[in-house]
Amino acid sequence: MRLHVHSGKDGQVRTVEDAAAESSLGDHVELKEGMSVFAVDDTGRELDTTDQLGATFDEGTARVVTHPGRQITVEIHYAGNSASLTVSPGVRLAAIRGQAISQLGIDPASAADLGLRLPGGTEDLPLDKPIASIANGGNHVDLELVALVRPQG
């Protein structure tokens, strides 16, 4: 099984290529005091480091993130409006984007070309990343929902 371990402190990703399905998460993830580990998915559930990888993850690739807190508050800004979400550190940015679109009352069809950026940033954030990889160990993140620039050709 391939295991990707995201660090909520510095955004780095470490990959364990051949983690045995019968090994525990704790065999591959070193947690410092006060740190927890979360699945990287749409819910970001907290994981027990004693559980076997094969019992915890169904697929051949697993993604987890470590973070010092159990929740991150995300403020999403769009066209003069804001939405506040409280999520698990393991929640993917795609799920946060969807929740923000819903909370802001944006029509899903109109939102198809909206992406997430850091305030004042020019680069779109990859929607498959966990929010903790952007929080850098903190418990609050501000993001902007912006229209993606698509090349015309």
Place of tokens 């020019």: 122
- Residue 3, classed as helix, strand or coil, is strand
How do residues 79-110 score in pLDDT, each as one tens digit?
999 999 999 999 999 999 999 999 999 998 88
Nearest CA-CA partner of 70 in 98, 96, 91: 91
CA 53 to chain centre: 20
pLDDT of residue 59: 72
CA distance 118 to 124: 8
Domain 72-147 has CATH 3.30.70.580: no
Q: With contact defined as beta carbons under 8 Å apart, do 79 and 100 qualify?
A: no
Output the pLDDT for position 50: 94
Secondary structure (DSSP) of 79-114 = TTEEEEEEE-TTBBHHHHHHHHHHHTT--TTGGGGE
Listed residue (75, 90, 99) closest to 133, CA to CA: 90
Instruction: Spell out the CATH class of 2-67.
Output: alpha beta
Helix, strand and coil in the chain, % to nearest 5: 15, 35, 50
How confident is the model at residue 108, as a pLDDT? 86
pLDDT value of position 37: 96
Within this chain, domains 2-67 and 72-147 share the same CATH topology: yes
> Are 130 and 44 contacting, i.e. CB atoms less than 8 angstroms apart?
yes
Q: What is the pLDDT along the chain (153 residues), one digit of tens a residue?
A: 999 999 877 778 999 999 999 999 999 998 888 899 999 999 999 999 999 999 999 878 899 999 999 999 999 999 999 999 999 999 999 999 999 999 999 998 889 899 999 999 999 999 999 999 999 899 999 999 998 765 555
Break the chain into its structural domains and give their ranges: 2-67, 72-147
Inter-residue contact 1 to 61 (CB < 8 Å): yes
